[in-house]
Amino acid sequence: DAKTTQPTSMDCAEGRAANLPCNHSTISGNEYVYWYRQIHSQGPQYIIHGLKNNETNEMASLIITEDRKSSTLILPHATLRDTAVYYCIVRVPLSSGSARQLTFGSGTQLTVLP
Amino acid sequence: SQTIHQWPATLVQPVGSPLSLECTVEGTSNPNLYWYRQAAGRGLQLLFYSVGIGQISSEVPQNLSASRPQDRQFILSSKKLLLSDSGFYLCAWSPSRTEAFFGQGTRLTVV
């Protein structure tokens, strides 16, 4: 799986958009970009994933650059409950009958400030 | 909708005691099930995975075992806990070719 680079920490004011960057310059053509977050002492929570097109769901938007070497997770209106460690992972999708080790890097500690 | 239950949330056990952590999934059938351990540096290590009842694959040799007695039930066990078994244990499930969804985790402290 390709390696990712994320800032160690970020702050965001409540109600503002949180933009979390991720660099994945060694991504290969069949690898997707996944985002998870982990609130302290809880299990990781899947947020969103994409291959090359921008994606949006009820939680966030994912913007992937045209060369796919970087991406940005956008939380449009951050709340205090969005304070968590956010992980950017690049890999091929899980396949039936084959579990893959999910390698979470250090992630970005997002702190939403009141 | 699908939900995953994992319990207990925290557990303190003496060295040499047995362990049983349970995980159940609702709202789906024949899920792939996984047990992970999360190290202090936030990395997730896959311990076991199962693609069906009675089908268990172990990723790393260790003091733990897993069983899947029912389609949506996955159990992590040990006959005798070691201090090194302390950690944060996560159960996860996935439908075919899509994302993994995690339980809330169990913080195990072996004393």
What pLDDT digit, counting tens, does each position of B61-82 carry? Answer: 778 999 999 999 999 999 999 9
Question: B30 with B98: CB under 8 angstroms?
Answer: no
Instruction: Indicate if the pLDDT at residue A76 is higher than 50.
Output: yes
Instruction: For residue A43, give how far its alpha carbon lies from the nearest alpha carbon of chain B (Å).
Output: 4
Chain A residues near residue B94 by CB distance under 8 angstroms: 94
Mean pLDDT of chain A: 89
A70-105 burial, b if ≥16 CB within 10 A, otherwise e?
bbbbbbeebeeebbbbbbbbbbebbeeeebebbbbb
Of A90-99, A105-114, B75-84, the poorest mean pLDDT is in A90-99
Phi, psi of A81 (to 5 degrees): -75, -10
| A59 or A1: which leads in pLDDT | A59
Q: How far is CA A27 from CA A11, A109, B25, B43, in A?
A: 27, 23, 33, 20
Q: How far is CA B31 from CA A75, B28, B45, B96, B99, in A?
A: 30, 7, 20, 8, 12
Q: Would you list which residues of chain B are within 8 Å, Cβ to Cβ, of chain A?
A: 6, 32, 34, 36, 41-46, 49, 51, 57, 59, 88, 90, 92, 94, 96-105, 107
Question: Which value, to the nearest 10 degrees, does the dihedral of the CA atoms of residues B11, B16, B18, B22 take?
Answer: 40
Instruction: Indicate if the pLDDT at residue A97 is higher than 60.
Output: no
Mean pLDDT of chain B: 88
Question: What would the mean pLDDT of A32-38 be, rounded to a whole number?
Answer: 91
